[in-house]
Structure 1
Amino acid sequence: MNDRNDIIIKDEIRNLEFIQKVEKSLCEKLNIPDLRPGNITIREKKNWRENEKEIDYCWLVNVSKSFVGWCWIFSLKFNETHFRNYNNPGKIIQGIFTVDKNANIENLFLENRKSDFKDKIKGFNNFDLFKTNPGITLDGITYKYLIYSRNATIKFELNNPNSENWKKWKKLVNQLGTELSEKSKIKEFREIFN
């Protein structure tokens, strides 16, 4: 006999497995082995070391809007590195994408930024983790927020965030999502962030 806890645990496992598949799919599109900070080795088809880069940080946000759709936005910062003949400039890649039911990326739009670009979501540090709005909101928006920094992987899930600090974070996410969706000209993104 299954009880409620068994169902919740199975859903969490499926959710984590799906997120891992999304991460893998994004890495394949960006031609990197991992999203976690530190040195990464870029290999060519024969598995020979071709280049080395260094990731400073990465964050991903899944935005799911009831009756509209869902997508992911992300930011990935590379530090300046040198490897053999390669001079890898410091840069930030920000993007927006959707995935199919198997976590394969369907739509992807990328924006390259200079390394001194002010990543407002990364810079936002006003998280009050225990202060939430106890009321019910009807906008039906869920966020999964994943942060990869040195020696830390942090995952949040927010349902209809409505406390003051999370409203500020949500505004930054929506500003970036709107900017990327407008530049991408992809209808599905524009519907989520209009």
Structure 2
Amino acid sequence: MKAVQPIRDIEVVEAIQEYLYNTNLRNCVLFSMGVFSGLRVSDLLNLQVASVRNKTHITLIEEKTKKTKKTNKEKTFIIHPDIKPLIDLYIQDMDDDEYLFASRQRKTKTGVKGKPIHRTTAYKMLNSTAQVFRLKEIGCHTMRKTWGYHLYIQDPENLALLMEMFNHSKQSITLRYLGLTQDAMDRAILRLSYSKKRIK
């Protein structure tokens, strides 16, 4: 099985945001929060509206994965100002106790506030979007990897922070997780610029 890859082209990330904004606002917010926060899909899906309304940060207990024996611990993540207006627009008619990414189907059929969408629903959304943009090797970890990839590309000194975020013990593990192959490293060097216009 091939490893899931980050979206390396910033213009493609922006194009996906625009595409999802015009087709499904919920999916746009999910994708945008994923690539701007580095949160796992499972953590994003468990968020309630109160977690983001009038907030500058999200505080949560990260879900422990099967691959680690470390105990769950509380972490705080800033809500990036670039997506705050989008989130505010999305939640303006929602109650604080609703799940941020609730299943509309259940609410429509029963009138009961929906449970969060399933991880497989998020996966299907990402893959159908990937097909539109002819992207391969895309999955639920793509958003998290995209976030980490561009943090590293824009400033390699972020590597220590990324190791902490991903609970990795070695730099090599983080670099491999982010898909930073030799070609990607070469591109990072070629993109080096000291012009503020290129550093966004």
Q: TM-score, normalised by structure 1?
A: 0.29
- Which is richer in helix? 2
Q: TM-score, normalised by structure 2?
A: 0.28
**Comparing both chains, which one has the higher relative contact order based on Cα–Cα distances under 8 Å and sequence gaps of 6 or more?**
2
